[in-house]
Amino acid sequence: MAENEIRRTEGRGRLFDSVLDTIGDTPVIRVNNLAPEGVRMYVKAEAFNPAASVKDRLAVNIIEAAERSGALKPGQTVVEATSGNTGIGLAMVCAQKGYPLVVTMADSFSIERRRLMRILGAKVVLTPRAEKGLGMYKKAVELSEAHGWFLAHQFETEANADIHEVTTAREIMADFDGERLDYLVTGYGTGGTVTGIGRVLRKERPDTKIILTEPANAAIVSSGHAQERLPDGAPAVSHPEFEPHPIQGWTPDFIPLVLQEAIDGGLYDDLIPVPGPEGIKWARELASKEGIFTGISGGSTFAVAMGVAEKAAPGSVILAMLPDTGERYMTTPLFEGIPEDMSDEEAEISRSTPGFQM
C-alpha cells in the first residue's frame, strides 16, 4: 500500500445465505515487529471465523456430516463435551439449523465461555473440575445414552480432521502458492488441525516441517505412554502424565483418537512442549506489539514459533496457527494485572487538563 494512499475495500462480491457460509478462509497475517531479523513469520488468525475460533470448522462439519448420514434427525438434541470453543461453534451452528444443544464442561474453564454458549441458545451442564476432561466427556455420553441425544464425538469423529484437510490445509496451500513455507507450528486440543493439515502437507509440501506443541506440565504425547481406549476409540482412563495447565482448549487429560492418526502416521516432525506462562507472555506481546489479539493457546503456539525462528536459517518462513480470540480469556491469567480502573499514569494524563476528571 502506498504511503499516502487511503485504505479501501470493495466488498466480497457475494451475499451469504447464512452465518455458516462465512466459516473458513481466515487470513494469514505477517508478524512485523516481533519476528527475528532475516526470518518471515506469519500467523493464521482463526478468530476471523464467525464464532471466533478454529472450532467453527469442525462444528459445522460434524453437524452436516451427521445430517448427510442420517445420524442426526431433524429437531434432535445435540450433546457434546467441550472446554469452550467447540461448544461455542456448535451453539452457533445449532442455533442457525434449529437443533437444541446441551454442552458439558468442567467448571474450571472460563466463565465467559459458558455465557457465550448460553447466549447462543445452548444449555451448559457443569462437571467437577476434579474429574477433569474425562469427567465432562463421560457426562456427555451418559446424557446421550439416557435421552437418545446425538453425541458429537469431536475427539473421535472422522468429520473433525476431514474438514481441516479440505479447508484449513487448502487455504494454507493457496496462500503460500509460489512462496516458501519452512515450518508450520500448531498445538492440539482434539488433534483435528494437525491431522488434517498434515495429510495435505506431507503429500504436497513435504519440505515443510510440522511442529506440534503441548503444555510442558501435561506433555502426554511426548511421554510415550499409550492412551488406554474403549473399543470405539474413546478414552478409557485419564492419561497418567496429565496435570492441570493454563492453556485452555489444549491437551485434555487423554490423547484423542483424532490426534492418534497424526502420532501413528508421522504427520509432524517435532514435538516441543511450552510452559503456560510463556504462552501468556507471547499472547500479550502479540497484542501490544502487533495488534493481533489471541488467547493463551495462540500465545503458546507463537512462543514455540519464536523459538523455532531464533534457530531457523536466514530466509526461513514460519506459520503459526492462532486458534481463537483473547476475549475468550478475560477471567483467566491472561488478563491478570490488567486493571479495570485508571492506573497512576492514566490518572496523571487525565489531570494534565482541567475538565472531565474522575
DSSP string computed for 10-55: ---SS--SSGGGG-S-PPEEEE-SSSPTT-EEEEEEGGGSTTSBTH
Does residue 350 lie in a domain region?
A: no
Question: Which residues are registered as beta bridge partners of 150?
Answer: 78
Please report the pLDDT score of residue 3 as a whole number.
73
Indicate which residue of 110, 297, 300, 316 is catalytic: 297
Catalytic residue at 55?
yes
37 in a structural domain: yes
**Dihedral of the CA atoms 290, 292, 294, 296 (nearest 10)?**
0
Residues 102 and 64 grouped into a single domain: yes
CATH code of the domain covering residue 265: 3.40.50.1100
Asked if residue 2 belongs to a domain, the reply is no
Domain limits for position 249: 19-50+168-335
Same domain flag for 209 and 329: yes
263 shares its domain with 281: yes
pLDDT given for residue 182 in this prediction: 98
Q: What DSSP state is assigned to residue 226?
A: P
* Confidence (pLDDT) at 91: 97
**Is 353 part of a structural domain of the chain?**
no
One domain for residues 61 and 46: no
199 in a structural domain? yes
Domain tally, the chain: 2
Ramachandran bin of 233, using left for φ above 0, alpha for ψ from -120 to 50, beta for the remaining angles: left
| One domain, residues 173 and 247 | yes
Please indicate, yes or no, whether residues 127 and 228 belong to a single structural domain of this protein: no
Is residue 156 one of the residues assigned to a domain? no
Residues 67 and 127 in one domain: yes
Strand partners, 310: none
Do residues 141 and 201 share a domain?
no
Q: Is 238 one of the catalytic residues?
A: no
Which grid cell is 42?
A: 506469519
Report the predicted TM-score, pTM, of the whole model to 2 decimal places.
0.94
Is the domain of 64 the same as that of 121?
yes
Same domain, 60 and 44: no
DSSP assignment of 58-127, as one string? HHHHHHHHHHHHTSS-TTPPEEEE-SSHHHHHHHHHHHHHT--EEEEEETTS-HHHHHHHHHTT-EEEEE
Block means of pLDDT (10 residues each) for the chain, 358 residues, are 84 96 98 97 98 97 98 97 92 98 91 94 94 91 97 95 98 98 97 98 98 96 95 92 91 94 98 97 98 98 98 98 96 93 94 91
Q: Are residues 202 and 315 in the same domain?
A: yes
The CA–CA distances, whole Å, from 87 to 84, 90, 99, 113 equal 5, 5, 13, 9
Q: Determine which one of 55, 132, 139, 209 is catalytic.
A: 55
Which has the closest alpha carbon to 42: 319, 312, 304?
A: 319
Domain-located, residue 61: yes
Residues 121 and 86 in one domain: yes
Domain assignment present for 6: no
